[in-house]
């Protein structure tokens, strides 16, 4: 009897002790990988990092809200890849993200890498939202899983061409960098110039790795243009403007969104004047729909927004909002919701048309004044 009582007491004591040591079971945590691809090395790494920062800020802010989907607490993990702005590398890292099991991708930065990589994501059934690839071909391929939060080059080229002819001069020379972005935008600019009643006096091209533009600019100089428009990135645009002035070309200079950056101003140096203009797909930073975005970005990363970060933030937000609406992080399940998202993002209203293009795309023209790009339109 004594042994039975002792055992019963011991069992009771152990049961109480064990029960007291068990904490309430927390909601199951689900790690959701979101990929980002952009150039993180090379001469436009600053733009790739700007995009990555925009995605990271979005994931961190949604994470801080304690998001739950499908009854599970969500933990976002950013998987960042460097495509070096190179199409072959872009395809390699795209497949790497697919193999890593990402549930969505923000990227790529360049049209030249986004267009070939988009097939890889579409074949794998993983949504891709580019915040900065503007070549129309990206969304003209008919891929169900491909979107963008940035205005395309058809819109931007028309604005550049019309502004150049209407405000700066009717004789226009165009130079592009032979990338999908640069050549695509140049084609649309040429259409815009001609539609506005101007003439294209020269159509030249370089590469996105060149540093010496003297031969091309010497040809351009013989045409005596009113305006020179360069469609490429800031790493070439800034030095090109400097070499233009060294050759005594006094024409006004315009560039697209790839050159509408702080780094362009630094690279052009003393060649910058009020005869320099650029266009930006999207609203001016001081007119962003989210008035606190720039401050939050600077507080988090210690630097100013370069160009595309608000649209990278919106691209990541679109993926997450679709997951929330579908109550699932699985791409096949949240894709229908992604096609229907409608929310006010950092850069403006985010909603997609049937091709995956953002519906409310804006284009702004800037002029260099008082040491910075100042919006005109």
What percent of the chain clears pLDDT 70, i.e. is strictly above it? Answer: 93
Residue bearing the bigger pLDDT, 144 or 11: 144
Angle at 357 between CA 352 and CA 359, to 5 degrees: 55
User: Could you give the domains of the chain?
Assistant: 29-151+287-360 (3.40.50.2300), 154-281 (3.40.50.2300)
What is the phi/psi pair of residue 258, to 5°? -65, -20
What percent of the chain clears pLDDT 90, i.e. is strictly above it? Answer: 86
Both tokens of residue 39? Answer: 């150039």
pLDDT of residue 117: 98
Reference 129, options 109, 149, 153; nearest CA is 149
The three-class DSSP label of residue 334 is helix
Structure pTM?
A: 0.83
Beta strand extents in the chain (DSSP E only): 29-38, 68-69, 72-82, 104-106, 128-130, 146-148, 171-176, 199-205, 227-231, 252-255, 276-281, 343-344, 349-350, 363-369, 372-375
Query: Which residues lie across from 231 on neighbouring strands?
Result: 176
pLDDT digits (tens, 9 = 90+) for 290-321: 999 999 999 999 999 998 999 999 999 999 99
- Contact (CB, 8 A) for 149 and 314: yes
Query: Which residues lie across from 77 on neighbouring strands?
Result: 33
pLDDT digits (tens, 9 = 90+) for 116-151: 999 999 999 999 999 999 999 999 999 999 999 999
Give the pLDDT band (50/70/90) at residue 281: confident
Reference 105, options 181, 38, 49, 152; nearest CA is 38
């Amino acid at each position: 009897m004594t042994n039975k009582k002792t055992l019963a007491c011991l069992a009771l004591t152990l049961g109480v002790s064990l029960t007291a040591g068990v904490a309430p079971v927390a909601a199951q945590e689900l790690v959701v990988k979101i990929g980002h691809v952009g150039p993180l090395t090379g001469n436009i790494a600053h733009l790739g990092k700007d995009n990555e920062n925009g995605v990271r800020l979005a994931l961190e802010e949604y994470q801080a809200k304690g998001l739950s989907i499908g009854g599970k607490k969500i933990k976002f993990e950013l998987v960042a890849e460097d495509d070096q702005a190179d199409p072959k590398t872009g395809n390699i890292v795209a497949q790497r993200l697919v193999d890593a099991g990402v549930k969505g991708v923000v990227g790529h930065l360049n049209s030249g890498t986004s267009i070939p990589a988009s097939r890889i994501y579409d074949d794998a059934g993983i949504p891709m939202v580019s915040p900065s690839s503007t070549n129309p071909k990206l969304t003209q391929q008919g891929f169900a899983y491909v979107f963008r939060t940035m205005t395309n080059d058809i819109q931007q080229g028309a604005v550049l061409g019309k502004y150049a002819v209407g405000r700066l001069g009717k004789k226009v020379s165009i130079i592009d960098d032979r990338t999908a972005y640069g050549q695509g935008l140049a084609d649309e600019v040429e259409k815009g110039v001609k539609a506005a009643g101007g003439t294209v006096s020269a159509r030249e091209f370089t590469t996105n790795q060149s540093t010496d533009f003297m031969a091309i600019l010497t040809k351009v100089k013989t045409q005596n243009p009113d305006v020179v428009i360069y469609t490429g990135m800031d790493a070439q645009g800034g030095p090109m403007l400097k070499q233009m002035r060294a050759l005594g070309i006094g024409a006004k200079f315009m560039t697209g969104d790839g050159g509408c950056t702080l780094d362009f101003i630094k690279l052009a140096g003393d060649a910058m004047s009020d005869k320099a203009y650029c266009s930006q797909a999207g609203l001016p930073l001081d007119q962003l729909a989210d008035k606190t975005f720039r401050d939050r970005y600077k507080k988090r990363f210690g630097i100013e927004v370069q160009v595309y970060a608000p649209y990278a933030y919106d691209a990541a937000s679109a993926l997450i909002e679709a997951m929330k609406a579908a109550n699932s992080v699985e791409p096949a399940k949240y894709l229908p919701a992604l096609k229907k998202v409608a929310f006010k993002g950092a850069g403006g209203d985010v909603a997609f048309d049937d091709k995956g293009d953002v519906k409310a795309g804006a284009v702004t023209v800037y002029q260099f004044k008082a040491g910075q790009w100042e919006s005109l339109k």
